[in-house]
Structure 1
Amino acid sequence: MAEINHFEYGWITPALSYALSVLGSVLGLICAGRIRTASSAGQRAWWGILAAWAIGGTAIWTMHFMAMLGFAVSGSRIKYDVPVTVVSALLAVVAVGIGLAIVGTGRLSAVRLLAGGLFTGAGVAAMHYTGMAAMRLNGELGYDPTRVALSLLIAVVAATAALWLAMTVRRGVAIFASALVMGVAVNGMHFTGMSALSVHLHERRGEVAGAEVGSLLIPIVLLVIFGVVGLVYALLAAPTDEDRAAAAYLAARRAPAAEPVGDDSPDPVGLRARSTLARPGAQFPSRRDRPPR
């Protein structure tokens, strides 16, 4: 059995992975909050996609890959199968998106929350072990079933808590505190799953096929940067509740006063007629149309 090192570069990789998970959770929770205030189905779908990308893509999958940079096996180089790695990323985003759709359509209930948490948690666990299956090295991977089951349980609990927070948390301080908790849960699931891994090296060492970690790092970092910038821009460009209230107030100020309908109250001095003529655009009667004195 080969010796495994999960922290080859010390605490740099786990610290960066935790920071990414918190950053993605903050953006995802803010986007999920916009789902509740959206005025149309199209807007709800748009904010749901952004929330799924923030939580599934940044908080979960990018965190996983960053933590894997510190993973090393004595006696073997590690490379990655690019298509399988891409599939693992899609699994995370799609699983979170479906979970948000389950809890975000209709009234939030315990049944919806549990169903969304089970589906999303299973998807996150599938992402993790698919990402592990993308590794290419001179050996065979083995897993401890007990720790795998424990990692799956953590994934479901973490996903359920994340969905509940996404649908209930609104204030800035609460969002940040929730993101810190979500970061702990996501990293806890990852390293619990990694602790279940064992590697049995092959006696004959051959060339390992796949992409080097360094060749994948640059495009992933660029993807994270552009993704985060795009999410921040979408949040800043979207109108807030204050903007909508101000627009409604201005629209009400500009709208003409409503015409009185069916007002049969007495008007002895002609005030009603004078107020009508005083309105902008009112036509005064010509001289020949006036009644004789």
Structure 2
Amino acid sequence: MRGTVDGFTQGPAILALAFLVACLGAAVGLRCAIRPSRTARTGRPSGTVRLLLGALSVGFGIWIMHHVAITGFTVVETPLSRDRPHVLIGLVVVVVMAGVGLFVVGYRGATRMALITGGALTGLGIASTHYLGMAGIRFQGHFTYETPLVVLSVLIAATAATAALRAALSTRTLLSGLGAGVMMALAVTGMHYTGMAALGVQLQPGVSSVVSADPPAD
């Protein structure tokens, strides 16, 4: 039996809030990490510390965005719950992969290979935290995915993340830093909602058709 998915039970304000969270986390993290990371090559510990703080900011922003957006997600026929280990693993993965992506671009600069590598790693981190989070949702059934849309979601994340890293390298003002943050937020939200569009629900036999409006519980 196919389930009915509703991704906006909390209204469109959830989309705006999720985008804002991702934007702020990315803007702070990119500003903190990219330019200072270049100084870390000289052995100054402050550059390395700021790179780590930037990775945490970007990673947490991505992770929180997913969990803000998912509060508006329900399967109409059955209540949902979350598996905490999947949630925490998703956080670790995105912080590590975003950190490596920032490290590559911060140290190598705006070379084509550095941007492609850094953007791909960051994009994969974004996708990983999303799909790990979805894998941790428990209900009376299972999710199915349309492979072309899943691939598209990863490509969106990697492409927009690459653009954000490129913009961050030329950041000179607060406004340009916010612009880089917006690009990264587009990577995160674009990936998330494309991934959600790829999703289908297969319910277990005998599941009641009673409507459940509950978002995923912790």
Q: Which amino acid aligns with 1:108?
A: A
Shift in Å at residue 132 of structure 1? Answer: 0.7
CA RMSD of aligned residues (A): 2.0
CA–CA distance in 1 between the matches of 2:126 and 2:182? 18
- 2:178 is aligned to 176
- 1:21 is aligned to 22
**1:100-179 alignment runs, 5 A limit:** 100-179=102-181
Residue of 60, 64, 75 corresponding to 1:57 = 60
CA–CA distance in 2 between the matches of 1:145 and 1:120? 21
Question: Which stretches of structure 1, 4 residues or more, deviate above 3 A after TM superposition?
Answer: 36-41, 212-216
- 1:240 is aligned to none
CA–CA distance in 1 between the matches of 2:195 and 2:157? 10
CA–CA distance in 2 between the matches of 1:88 and 1:116? 19
Q: Does 1:30 align with 2:31?
A: yes
Bigger Rg over Cα:
1
> Tell me, what secondary structure is at the counterpart of 2:144?
strand
**1:1-293 alignment runs, 5 A limit:** 1-32=2-33, 33-37=35-39, 40-58=43-61, 60-205=62-207, 216=218
Shift in Å at residue 50 of structure 1? Answer: 0.8
Aligned partners of 1:91 and 1:123 also within 8 Å: yes
CA–CA distance in 2 between the matches of 1:158 and 1:195? 18
Shift in Å at residue 102 of structure 1? Answer: 1.2
Seen in structure 2, the aligned counterparts of structure 1 residues 57 and 63 have a Cα distance that, compared at 3 Å, is: same
Aligned length: 210
Identity among equivalent pairs (%): 36
Q: Which has the higher contact order (CA 8 A, sep 6+)?
A: 2
Seen in structure 2, the aligned counterparts of structure 1 residues 46 and 213 have a Cα distance that, compared at 3 Å, is: farther
Q: Which amino acid aligns with 1:138?
A: Q
Show CA shifts across 1:132-167 (max 9, x none).
101001111100011001001101102212222232
Aligned partners of 1:28 and 1:51 also within 8 Å: yes
| Alignment TM-score, normalising by the size of structure 2 | 0.89
CA–CA distance in 2 between the matches of 1:64 and 1:97? 18
Q: Which runs of 5+ in 2 are unaligned?
A: 209-213
> Tell me, what secondary structure is at the counterpart of 2:72?
coil
Aligned partners of 1:36 and 1:167 also within 8 Å: no
Q: Which has the higher helix share?
A: 2
Q: Which amino acid aligns with 1:199?
A: V
- 2:211 is aligned to none
Show CA shifts across 1:214-268 (max 9, x none).
864xxxxxxxxxxxxxxxxxxxxxxxxxxxxxxxxxxxxxxxxxxxxxxxxxxxx
Q: Which runs of 5+ in 1 are unaligned?
A: 207-211, 217-293
Shift in Å at residue 182 of structure 1? Answer: 2.5
Seen in structure 2, the aligned counterparts of structure 1 residues 158 and 107 have a Cα distance that, compared at 3 Å, is: closer
Show CA shifts across 1:85-105 (max 9, x none).
100111111110011111122
